[in-house]
Chains A and B, each alone.
Chain A
Amino acid sequence: MPSLTASANKAHAHGWTPDQPIISIRDVYKSFGKVEVLKGITLDVRKGEVVCIIGPSGSGKSTLLRCINALVPIDRGSIKVEGQEVNDPALDKLELRKKVGMVFQSYNLFPHKTALENIMMAPVLVLKRPKDEVEAQARRLLKKVRLEDKADAYPGELSGGQQQRVAIARSLAMNPDVMLFDEVTAALDPETVKEVLVTIRELAEEGMTCILVTHEMGFAREVGDHIYFTDRGVIVEHGPPATFFKEASDPRTREFLSQIL
């Protein structure tokens, strides 16, 4: 089976080459009213890398993800996705979002459409791809997330874990270059967490570039190439999982890890 996530021959404007970071975040600030959520975030993600962002609730992790696909505008700093500046007023948000897939904590499937329709909608309506080709891909994706028998089920008829896997397939159908996962297992019960994590692990193994905001430390350690720990809007510490989990030096990181692990 050919890779479902390949983005062959995509033209890259902005002089970006695959050996540069696919996402480059520099000194990003964001406030909601008087609350400063991001206070100078800097991080790079390379192609094929799996980056996990961990940290206490309210530390700005989800906001950071939303800034990357321009759901939330940033106040200061720079975010570049494949060389394209996200903080550019002339940014073509739609072009950006075609490259960046996002999966949410609460799945957010469209409740009036079946699983198959949920997956097919964006490729057909946004990318204007032929319907039969999209349907074939959608069915392949459903098979990949082990839900081929649920093609005609409505989201209300699926369990949380099943809905989340459909949501992942829906994002993948756009053939994105990067996937953002925003606490995708936080709303699931422990048994169904696993089935979603299996899907994400497979994606990671296929070489999909992923940014995961997660509370699943074991999973982060296992699939992550790089772990970032955020607290109160700043990156406190980061490193590859082997060293990060063993040799975290900052007291805030150690305290957080001791509470979680």
Chain B
Amino acid sequence: MLGAEGESGFTATAFNRRSLGFVLAAFALILAASEAVAQIRTTGGSEGIIEALIKWTPLLLLGPPGEFGGFVLNIAVSFLAMAIGTAAGLVLGLGQISLYAPVRKMSWAVTQFFRNSPWLVLLFFVMLLTPFHLRIGGVSIPLPDWLKATFGLSLPIMANMAEIVRGAVNSIPTSQWESAESLAFTRMQTLWRIILPQCVKRMIPPWMNWYAILTMATPLISIVGVNDAMTLTQDALAAEQKTELLMPMYGLLLVFFFIYCYPIARWTIYLERKYAVRI
């Protein structure tokens, strides 16, 4: 299905040049304004600021040399938390449509709990609840903070994925279940071979939407002491001790996240349109 036509359609709608140009112009304006403010406050001029931004960019992106950190850590955490959250959410979502009432009710309760809890509070809970080491048999596996934080962030993703799965399964007409049943498919076969494959298309846009939300929420892990881009920005600012760098540095961090998340948002909109037509 993803032929040349689909791809050209994608570039035409998702990367509408005018809208992208508009947003980038807005960012340039924010950066220029913050530099202007900085210039008024000091005599250092904008060159000092740009130099500082260039100097710190490798650290913010890749973390300290030899360590795992910076923006790549944010992305790694977002990938892993999404993978864990998606897998657990699928189980939880299917649990909600189980024929066994206890499973159904438990899944519902777990989903509701994690859907309606603040992410930051969940994060602290997981950090405090999980040990530094995981003992499996005689082997001790260390659990670094970033990994614990990833579990913490995967919990709300799990709950929201469960709702996406449940909603998608329920959106498939019951006549599909009926015709599968009348062909002597078991419930499991019906679910995995007939219902879920039809759900995938419907689930992708909301799933990507949650991925973007998750990525933008990853700076939360800086609060629990992980060397992510947010922590390193604050470290860099502490090292520079220049108030005029505050806005440009945070502005740079915003640009990192924007450049990563904006294409995902546009792609999501494109897929939503594409799949909406084909019902």
Residue ranges of A at the interface with B (Cβ–Cβ < 8 Å): 66, 69, 71, 93-95, 97-98, 100-102, 104, 106, 108-112, 121-122, 125-126, 156, 167, 170-171, 174
B257 interface contact, C-beta 8 A: no
Smallest beta-carbon distance B180→chain A, Å:
8
Pull 18 A–B residue pairs with CB atoms less than 8 Å apart, ordered by A: A66-B178, A69-B182, A71-B181, A95-B184, A97-B181, A97-B182, A98-B184, A104-B178, A106-B175, A108-B176, A108-B178, A109-B179, A110-B179, A110-B198, A122-B184, A125-B185, A125-B193, A174-B184
Smallest beta-carbon distance B125→chain A, Å:
40
A100 to B184, CA, bound (A): 9
Q: How many B residues face the partner with a CB closer than 8 A?
A: 17
A-contact bits for B166-190, CB 8 A (1 contact / 0 none): 0000000001101111111110010
B194 interface contact, C-beta 8 A: yes
Are A121's CB and B193's CB within 8 A? yes
Give which listed residue, B175, B176, B189, contacts A126 with CB less than 8 A: B189
A71 to B181, CA, bound (A): 7
B197 interface contact, C-beta 8 A: yes
A94 to B181, CA, bound (A): 8
A98 to B186, CA, bound (A): 12
Chain A, Cβ-Cβ closest to B172: A111
Number of A-B contacts (CB under 8 A): 55
A35 to B193, CA, bound (A): 35
B198: chain A residues at CB < 8 Å are 110-112
Are A101's CB and B182's CB within 8 A? yes
B278: chain A residues at CB < 8 Å are 156
Q: A110-B194, A126-B189 are in contact. Are A97 and B184 (CB under 8 A)?
A: yes
Smallest beta-carbon distance B109→chain A, Å:
28
Knowing that A94-B184, A97-B183, A126-B185 are A-B contacts, what are 16 other residue pairs whose CB atoms are under 8 Å apart, sorted by A's residue number?
A66-B178, A71-B178, A71-B182, A102-B179, A106-B175, A108-B176, A108-B178, A110-B198, A111-B198, A112-B198, A125-B185, A125-B193, A126-B184, A171-B182, A171-B183, A174-B184
Are B183's CB and A174's CB within 8 A? yes
A35 to B22, CA, bound (A): 61
A111 to B201, CA, bound (A): 12
B183: chain A residues at CB < 8 Å are 97, 121-122, 126, 170-171, 174
Are A108's CB and B184's CB within 8 A? no
Are B197's CB and A112's CB within 8 A? yes
B197: chain A residues at CB < 8 Å are 112
B186: chain A residues at CB < 8 Å are 94
